Amino acid sequence: MDRFAELKTFCTVAACGGFSPAARRLGLATSSVTRMVDALEHRLGVVLLNRSTRSVTLTDQGRSYYEDAQRILEQLDAADDAVADQGAGASLRGVLRVAAPVTFAAMHVAPILPALRARHPGLALDLRLSDTAVNLIDESIDVAIRIGGLDPQANLVARRLAGHERLLVASPGYLAARGEPRHPADLASHDCLQFAFADNRRTWRLRRAAGIDGVAPDELPVEEIPVDSVVLANSGELLRQAALAGLGVAMLAHWLVREDLLAGRLVQVLQDYQVNPGPMDVGLYALYQANRRGSRKIRVFVDLLAEHLQAFDR
């Protein structure tokens, strides 16, 4: 039996927490996945997984073996990249696994696919779309697109693709009926459309975009403004649709509402302020493992996405 297939199957079962989800990810029958892990345990003479009707977890021996197996698979991926990437002008082959937020991928990954396909017809993309951050190693992801602030991690490379400017926007009809806020405190009398964050924050943070009396913008105080959320949702696209329908003021990413602003379907309010629900310095990033730094597959995809974002923002 292919020992690397055993390793990959075992690692996928451990990452997924079960044989059935691992089988779906691998495109195999659950019985085949079970047989492969059973054969691995039999060959090693140890139990790697605790099995129950509800979950599958690693034994102590399994946890140690999993860490070693992950390193081996990472090294194999790096070796594959090194061979596949030989020759700067060669057409790339193989599979590139990309994780990205759903709406962002629809708006900004989809448009670059024709060019990527035309340049590298032998390269297949496996797109994993989710608004939840994934573990690159456990999910076998080559590159992940993240939005927001990032904590530095020694084993990951974070390439900044673009800024992540958020704006306060509303429809012309809503502003005609309710008036336009002129100061952050005015938001208290407006209907607000708010993103539902995991930490249950119910405030918006605003800071003047221009300095005052020689004080730089980043040295100015940030105002925490409580907002009355008439719509609370964990989808930026849903909040965009609600804003277009005239339901209130929304804080949304520039890349999401740019075309609406140009077409006049939405209007930016409080333009003299930077706005954000969390830290003010956030961005759009491509993340990949440090040992994949030389991968041409990753570089080609990330370069193309960065070019698209720069052109989009002009």
Tokens of 292: 């994949």
Dihedral angle computed from the Cα positions of residues 78, 80, 83 and 85, in that order, rounded to the nearest 10 degrees = -70
Q: What is 1-84's CATH number, 1.25.40.10, 2.60.120.10, 1.10.10.10, 1.20.960.40?
A: 1.10.10.10
CB within 8 A of 176, min separation 6: which ones?
A: none
How far is residue 72 from each of residues 58, 67, 68, measured CA to CA in Å? 18, 9, 6
pLDDT, tens digit (0-9, with 9 covering 90-100), for 74-84 = 777 666 666 65
Tokens of 87: 């020759």
Q: Say what the pLDDT of residue 162 is.
A: 82
The answer on pLDDT for 89 being more than 60 is no
Among candidates 48, 148, 151, which has minimal Cα distance to 104? 148
The answer on pLDDT for 314 being more than 70 is no
| Mean confidence (pLDDT) of the chain | 84
Q: Say what the pLDDT of residue 135 is.
A: 77
Q: Say what the pLDDT of residue 205 is.
A: 86
Q: Which residue has the higher pLDDT, 29 or 154?
A: 29
- Beta carbons of 149 and 282 less than 8 angstroms apart: yes
* Rounded-to-integer distance, Cα 243 and Cα 300, Å: 36
Most confident by average pLDDT, 156-160, 161-165, 262-266: 262-266
Residue ranges of domains in the chain: 1-84, 94-160+282-314, 166-276
Most confident by average pLDDT, 139-143, 219-223, 242-246: 242-246
Among candidates 54, 21, 59, which has minimal Cα distance to 40? 59
* Rounded-to-integer distance, Cα 134 and Cα 149, Å: 15
pLDDT, tens digit (0-9, with 9 covering 90-100), for 123-148 = 888 998 888 877 777 777 889 998 87
pLDDT, tens digit (0-9, with 9 covering 90-100), for 187-220 = 988 999 998 876 667 788 888 876 555 556 566 7
The answer on pLDDT for 179 being more than 80 is yes
Shared fold status for 1-84 and 166-276: no
CB crowding 203-212: b at 16 or more within 10 Å, else e? ebbbbbeeee
Tokens of 170: 């509303």
Q: Say what the pLDDT of residue 1 is.
A: 55
Q: Say what the pLDDT of residue 246 is.
A: 96
Q: Say what the pLDDT of residue 82 is.
A: 60
How far is residue 261 from each of residues 16, 54, 189, 266, measured CA to CA in Å? 42, 49, 23, 5
pLDDT, tens digit (0-9, with 9 covering 90-100), for 36-66 = 899 888 988 999 998 887 788 899 888 888 8
DSSP codes of every residue in 15-33: HHTSHHHHHHHHTS-HHHH
Among candidates 131, 157, 160, which has minimal Cα distance to 142? 157
* Rounded-to-integer distance, Cα 213 and Cα 158, Å: 36
pLDDT, tens digit (0-9, with 9 covering 90-100), for 111-123 = 999 999 998 898 8
DSSP codes of every residue in 188-251: GGS-EEEE--TT---EEEEEESS-BTTB-GGGSPPEEEE--EEEEES-HHHHHHHHHTT--EEE
Backbone angles phi, psi at 221, to 5 degrees: -70, 150
Looking at the DSSP bridge assignments, the partners of residue 57 are 50
Q: Which residue has the higher pLDDT, 313 or 242?
A: 242
Cα 156–Cα 199–Cα 277 angle in degrees, nearest 5: 80
CB within 8 A of 216, min separation 6: which ones?
A: none
Among candidates 177, 273, 264, which has minimal Cα distance to 220? 273
Q: Say what the pLDDT of residue 261 is.
A: 95
Long-range residue pairs from 15-19, CB within 8 A, at least 24 positions apart, any chain: 15/135, 15/138, 15/139, 15/140, 17/55, 17/56, 17/57, 18/55, 18/56, 19/56
Q: Which fold has domain 166-276?
A: D-Maltodextrin-Binding Protein; domain 2 (3.40.190)
Q: What is the CATH number of domain 94-160+282-314?
A: 3.40.190.10
Q: pTM value?
A: 0.67
Q: Say what the pLDDT of residue 71 is.
A: 78
Q: By 3-state DSSP, what share of the chain in percent is helix, strand and coil, each rounded to 5?
A: 45, 25, 30
Q: Say what the pLDDT of residue 152 is.
A: 64
* pLDDT more than 70, % of the chain: 87
